[in-house]
Amino acid sequence: MEVTALCITLLMTVLFLLCARDQKVDSAVLHIEPNRLQFFEYETVTFHCEGLKEEELSCKSSSRLTSTGSSCAIKNIFLEDSGEYWCEGKGGKRSNSVNITVINGSVILESPVLPVEEGNNVTLTCRKKMSSLHLTAGFYKDGLLIRSSSTGEMTIHSVSKSDEGLYKCHISGAGGSPESWMAVRGETMKGY
Higher per-residue confidence, 60 vs 21:
60
d(CA 161, CA 152): 24
Q: Which domains does the chain have, with CATH numbers?
A: 28-104 (2.60.40.10), 107-187 (2.60.40.10)
Q: What is the pLDDT of residues 85-95, one digit of tens each?
A: 888 777 777 88
d(CA 164, CA 35): 18
What is the pLDDT averaged over residues 68-89? 84
**Bridge partner list, 52:** none
Q: What is the pLDDT of residues 145-181, one digit of tens each?
A: 999 999 999 999 999 999 999 999 999 999 999 999 9
d(CA 164, CA 116): 9
pLDDT for 154 equals: 97
The rounded mean pLDDT for the chain is: 81
Q: What is the pLDDT of residues 40-70, one digit of tens each?
A: 999 999 988 888 765 566 565 455 667 677 7
pLDDT for 182 equals: 97
**Predicted confidence (pLDDT) at residue 140 exceeds the cutoff of 50:** yes
- Strand, coil or helix: 106: coil
Sign of the alpha-carbon dihedral angle for 36, 42, 43, 46: positive
E strand or H helix at 5, and its extent? helix 2-26
Higher per-residue confidence, 192 vs 151:
151
pLDDT for 146 equals: 97
- Binned at pLDDT 50, 70 and 90, residue 7 comes out as very low
**Predicted confidence (pLDDT) at residue 12 exceeds the cutoff of 50:** no
**Predicted confidence (pLDDT) at residue 130 exceeds the cutoff of 80:** yes
d(CA 103, CA 99): 13
pTM summary value? 0.77
